[in-house]
Amino acid sequence: MAKYMLIMRATEESFASFMSHDFGEILESIGRYNDELIRAGVLLAAEGLADPSEGVVVDFSGETPVVTDGPYGELKELFNGYYILDVASIQEAVEWAKRAPLTAGSKTEIRRVTTIDEFPQDSEWIQKERAWREQTGQL
């Protein structure tokens, strides 16, 4: 099994479609999808994100980090929420993503979540992180 993150991205088209739907209906369809993931035993985490206007960007392109308030970037550059699934393969993650109740024009990026075992185990920092993960029940 491996962890995969499904990153939900909006487009101008999907945002307009989302805004034209009843929010109760949206919650119902997402709730049914989430329930399927839970019953299948593959859901590890799922969160939606607040409006970009409530966020900030920390930009490291200069000598010192610069913080700017949202909104920032184009809608197509933002993501609105994510799922983390524990599935056997990227193909299985794709199949779950294809079943998501998203509006027309939405996009989902799927990325494998790396594990601590993929990093050099002789690193002091990896050893500290491993100890923390063991202490908090994450390993």
The domain in which residue 12 lies consists of 2-109
Question: What CATH number has the domain bearing residue 17?
Answer: 3.30.70.1060
Q: What is the pLDDT of residues 27-39, one digit of tens each?
A: 899 999 999 999 9
Residue 61 lies in a domain: yes
Residue 130 lies in a domain: no
Q: Are 29 and 101 in contact (CB under 8 A)?
A: yes
pLDDT of residue 32: 95
pTM for the model stands at 0.82
Cβ atoms within 10 Å, residue 42: 20
Residue 85 lies in a domain: yes
Q: Which residues of the chain have pLDDT under 50?
A: none
Residue 22 lies in a domain: yes
pLDDT of residue 17: 77
Query: 24-27, long-range: CB within 8 Å, 24+ apart, which pairs?
Result: 26/101
